[in-house]
Structure 1
Amino acid sequence: MKSLIQRSFHRTFLLSVLATLLTWAVGLSALLVWGNSLRPANYYESRIPQIVSQIRQLDHPVSPASRVEVERIVPAEGMGYEMFDASGKRMYGSYTGEGAICSTADLLERLNDPAASGGYFVQYEPLTGPGGEFAGAIALRYKLTMASANPAEAVPLLLGGLLMAAAPFAYLYGFTLWSGRRLSRRLEEPFGHLIEGAEKIREHDLDFSLERGGTGVRELNQLLSAFEQMREALRESLRREWQSERDRRDMIAAVAHDLGTPLSVIRGHAEVLLDDAGRRPERAVRYAETILGAADRSIRLTADLSEAAQVERPDFALSPEPVDLETAVRAKGREYAFLCRERGVDFALAVRDLRAEDRRGPQRLDQHRLNRVLDNLVSNALRYAPEGSLVALELRIRPGGAEFEVRDDGPGFAEAGGGRIFEKFYREDAARPAAADPGGGHSGLGLFIARTVVRRHGGEIAAQNRPEGGACVTFSVAELD
């Protein structure tokens, strides 16, 4: 801004000087061309000897009777006169002087000595009588200016002189106005954008941008950039708030739906048991098993909700400890093999340690959370794996971390890349129908929890469909500090 104002001032001053010099050059050129037809400023002063000579030729120039002749000789348009007798008494004239002459001595003292008074020059010339005696004097008043020497052209000369004198100030004022308006237009647009943006923000409209090119003013560019960053931050904050609000609504709806079904089952079967009053024990056992399964589903849902809320908290932290991954995963593999046999599904485990022999050893990881991730992925694979198919778990241990892969021969994901399956409460029932899920459905939180834990481990998780059929989920973890 400082640089812009300085440039504006320098431009105004330079243009004013150049315009003034040009005006003076044009005026002086016109005066030189026109000057050949103009009288010089001392025109009337130069005529004084001729005028005095003609007046002296009159018989009695001091006498009022000679006034008409004197006024015919003295040019009234450029000179004034006063006639005095020998005693200094004013006899007549075309003007009245400010300094009164009281005696012959006063009059003689002023002879041949031009004096300045009120912008005029006054010259006293002696007059003689018929016998050559001193008869008096005539005072001739004139100006040494071009306008007074050229009364017919006085107005143009005065206007020209005024223009020449006022040109610097007029140009300075004019160019200052022009520079001010130019600067105002340059600043008006970005400030207009800021005001418009503030109005939109007040109306909760954040879908606009202030990135419309630079203004040429560093401070304004910084202000616009800061305002744009504030708008982006505000929009992102509101987006997160709206997303959080939507997630809360979805969570409430999902919890109400998922808890509603098992609770309805529990209530209905409990009512049947009460009505049966123990008359059919085999039926009571079947209904009790159904109630137990519905209660287990409710417990699993509340546990998932609790864990999801826990891993989402900003202060959530992992608990790293030395973990022998191969040993831990083989132990989990025995659990998964047992679950798969109960469902009529085969299970395969492959472990490869890609580290050098002298580099193999425990890694600092949160084993409890990693087990939770593996439980979610394997249970999902088992949930949709057809009877007689295969669920496979592969572990690749690398320096500083590890990679896991879980595969199944089920129907795969509805989305080609499995992009949304890691969202909270998302279910892919279109591709994996509930009928294929003997476990009675799931909460839609397991993969969300898995992604959160994996990212806290410094890794990433991805899901995709296998070309030969089925689903594949891979994730990586990095050793914790």
Structure 2
Amino acid sequence: MKNITFKKQFIISILLVLILSILFTVAGAYVEIKLIQKGIVLKANYYESRVPEVETYINKNKEKVLNKNFKKDLESIIPIQGIEYEVVNSKGELLYGHFNEIIVQAPVKLKKQSEIDKSESPKMIKYISIINNNKIEGMVILKYELKLSARNPKFNWIVKYLDVFTMLAPFIYIIIFTFVFASKLNNRLKIPLNQLMIGAEKIKNKDLEFKIDYKSKDELGMLCNSFEEMRVELKKSLQEQWKMEQERKEMVGAIAHDLKTPITIIKGHVEGLIDSKRLEEGKVYRYLDLINKNADRMTKLIEKMNILTKIEKSDFTLKFKRCNIIEFINDKTDDYNILADNKKISFEYTIKDERISNGLINMDCGALSAILDNLVSNSIRFTPEGGSIYLNLYLTEEKIILSISDTGCGFSKKDIANIFKKFYQGDESRSKEKGHSGLGLYIVRTLVNKFNGSIEAKNNEKGGAIVSVSMFVS
């Protein structure tokens, strides 16, 4: 059916469902008839047909029937596997019987003539009056059902479901065969549809290195062929365009992310000067100096427009120079205090220096600054007002170990798995701020790797996030 149209496939499938349902229904009915003919399954009126024989026996043994000792003789005639019975005396009181539940509650109202109660059909109740000399001496009450049953009562449950199945067989078979043919059709559709969906996803991700190889004369085959032709043309016409667009996005994204921090710092210091009612010369010069430093940082960021491309290159190397790491951190924390104050967040830091010599060390301060800026700005972004951020710095002769923790919302499982991936912007349920590039932590990880260091992101036991970095000192 692969090489015919879906319209024809659909019509053929419907016809097959109907034909097979009819055939299986007829076959089921034939099996049931054979089981009845062989006596394995009893007809619905089998026990009803035994009632006249039982009634004749009762009328022949009237007084004996009313004697409890006659129970075995009576049950030799009554097929108790399908007929329940009660024997009552002239007062309607129960003498004996064989039943699961009382058939008629005592005292039973005696009837002058035998009759059948069909009010609860298919359950039937037969009243057989025992009359002697025109006087009602008692009554035998029989209860049976008009339904198929097994000769062996143990298998009545099978016959019960067989009877229900026989009535519903056409619908059941239609459902079964519809499911079977629908599954087969679904399996035939899966191959081309999966290829198309995977192809569409690859195109969405700007990946044209794939091929749709589904061949068929049906509509999906023609669609796959057209899709493959479109892919080839797209690859030819858009490959170069995508490359240029990607480079532009990476460049703009990196710059936008890195310029945000110095701009905010400058704005904070300017607002501090504006809000000062009494300007102190020392304070003015200190603020202007910080503004000047951050303006220089912006200039340097602009000059390094290709920073992301450069640090990803295998030949990129850090530029170490002698610096006082303690003074460097103190200067950085002044900037971070302003950023935190703007959001009403408490910023604290501690420095533990276990070096024998507390002098200068070889460090690429620009790279270290980028690492700290990105980590702190991320903490500020996800820490609510009234929260806290802690920077802990630990210095040894060989390593710089720092950790930045906050009291924000912490990382989701998805964040922890993807947080250092390029352009990952955070779990939507966590990331309230949109528009950032998703490059910050990727740049941090890349720079840390250049230091032959390690980085880890996790959640604090008391809540919030913590990012730990370990780097070797040159």
Give TM-score scaled by structure 2 length.
0.41
Report which of the two structures shows the higher radius of gyration computed on alpha carbons: 1
